[in-house]
Amino acid sequence: MKLLLLSLQSNASLVGIKYIATNVQAHGHDVRILLAPGYLEEILASGIEGFIKEFQPDLIGISLMSIEFYPAKNITRLIKDKFDIPVVWGGLHVILKPDECIQYVDYVCSGEGENAVLALLEYLGNSHRDSIADIPNIWVNHKGVISEKPAQPEFDLDTLPIIEYLPDNFYVYKDNRIMNFADNPKLFRSLALYGGTCHMMVTTRGCPFYCGYCANAYTMKVFGKKIRKRSVANCIEELKLVRKDPYVIYINFEDDWFFSHDKEWMREFSAEYKKYINLPFMVRVFPGVLDREKLDLLRDAGLSLVIMGVQSGSDRVNFEIYNRKVKFASVEKAAEVISESGVAPYYEMITDNPYETEEDQMECISAMSRLKRPYTISLAHLTFFPGTTLTEKAIKDGIADPEAYLSRYMVKIDDTYFNKLLYLTPYIPRALINYLNRKQIDRTGIHNFLIAFLSFTVKRTIEPVVFFYVIARGLKFNIKWTVRTVTGNWKSAVAKVLFNFLGKGDMEFDQQLEVARKKMPELFEK
């Protein structure tokens, strides 16, 4: 049997699809992965059509985040017009909205896809398509009749085969041509995050925190609060394979809460990682439960950067609006520990919150300015994902567009005074922050001028210097690693300066959607 897995995301750094592809391939089936970033054309490109004709898949799987809903809906329609091949959707957006997604395809995967997609492919090989599949996690649209199956997440993560950094069966659609990434590694690096220098990896699945804004708060209803963990041996096996690629210079552990591993796991992992891998890496931490002993173990093994979600410097906002029970005092304590360790600190904040007052925003800026420097900061637009408690409240209060999450990137923030000042807090003197941190009614022309001037200037001068200093310090001033990090990430750095972490293709996506709304209005109808 043959499976074609299609991704519409804007970059080539895939993890979930690789797991599905590797698992299906390990069971003797032929699999290809095709990246077609944000495809929103009115017709199916000849390159894609020819690729499908040549491969002749028995099943096409499309993975989508919410931002890829319309491209997924579009390319599914185009494929269905040309081929009689069943299509299954999966991914976070499908888990959030399976009842909506099933209207446009033959199948949707409402939970984890590795075993479900394998079972569906083998079912299609053994049975007739006219019968209704009875497979956990798989919803069926059989001639307009919907058959639902609840998600069943429980399986041992160590039973999954190891994924590769750059598998041989990974292709991309570009300039109406299909090209193999393994044969064109430079092309892969041009489309991957961080210039392809970073291997994305997860050691756990799940998150115990019920933050009101986070999609995890909904997926927890599907998967439960239990965090499933891979063994150290299983993780090191994957990393040894990745280590063979000379272009990979660091590892990005994307676990929502890497510190959920106990100290015994951390000790074993740190020792094995230092012995066999010895590359810098980054992890995500939660401020209220940051453990100094674990941090020191990881630092000794090569930890160079810590990403910590702060979200707001206002306790009222975190507690009452975000359901995030972490006082800023805990953030300050965690930031102190991170700073003392020498690891590069990277703090994530949420902006554009309609429930925030000016007092909340001023408190947030004042609080962030107190954190020990140097550090860097990332701002994200508050996105109302379906199923979260905050979204339900915002829709009830009439202040949220329930469709906005389908067409706006989270890192595309509003161009406001407070957002600019928050962005500046790590880089300008605290006295200047205090001078600028005031309500709209109290601002003068000089305040607005300074904010505009500083946000333009600092982003292109002071911030890059601070960013590369904290990275170099996180790398223990290792010249080789620092040079390779800088040279390998120069495109990402340029995107950071020009587009606030969005690549050019991401910035153009909004424009593509507007063009598509005019050319294909039916695509945007329910």
For residues 182 and 51, give the distance between their C-alpha atoms in angstroms, rounded to a whole number.
Answer: 17
- Cβ proximity of 266 and 260 under 8 Å: no
- What is the rounded (10 degree) CA torsion for 396, 398, 402, 405? -120
Q: State pLDDT tens for residues 89-123.
A: 999 999 999 999 999 999 999 999 999 999 999 99
Q: Is the fold of 2-158 the same as that of 192-508?
A: no
For residues 324 and 167, give the distance between their C-alpha atoms in angstroms, rounded to a whole number.
Answer: 39
Q: State pLDDT tens for residues 132-152.
A: 888 999 999 988 889 998 777
For residues 397 and 353, give the distance between their C-alpha atoms in angstroms, rounded to a whole number.
Answer: 14
Question: Domain 2-158 class?
Answer: alpha beta
Give domain limits for the chain: 2-158, 192-508
Average pLDDT of span 466-470 = 87
Q: Which fold has domain 192-508?
A: TIM Barrel (3.20.20)
| pLDDT at 491 exceeding the cut of 60 | no
Q: How far is CA 358 from the centre of its chain?
A: 30
Average pLDDT of span 388-398 = 92
Q: State pLDDT tens for residues 414-429.
A: 999 999 999 999 999 9
What is each CA distance from 207 to 214, 254, 405, 458, 461, in whole angstroms?
A: 11, 12, 22, 36, 37
Q: What is the pLDDT of residue 10?
A: 87
Tokens of 210: 């019920």
Longest dimension (CA), the chain: 73
Tokens of 5: 């897995």
Which residues lie closer than 8 Å to 85 by C-beta, 6 or more apart?
Answer: 52, 57, 58, 59, 60, 79
- Cβ proximity of 269 and 232 under 8 Å: yes
Average pLDDT of span 324-336 = 95
Q: What is the pLDDT of residue 213?
A: 92
- Cβ proximity of 139 and 94 under 8 Å: no
What is each CA distance from 369 to 43, 362, 380, 457, 523, in whole angstroms?
A: 51, 11, 18, 19, 46
For residues 485 and 351, give the distance between their C-alpha atoms in angstroms, rounded to a whole number.
Answer: 29
SS3 letters across 123-148: HHHHCCCCCCCCCCCEEEEECCEEEC
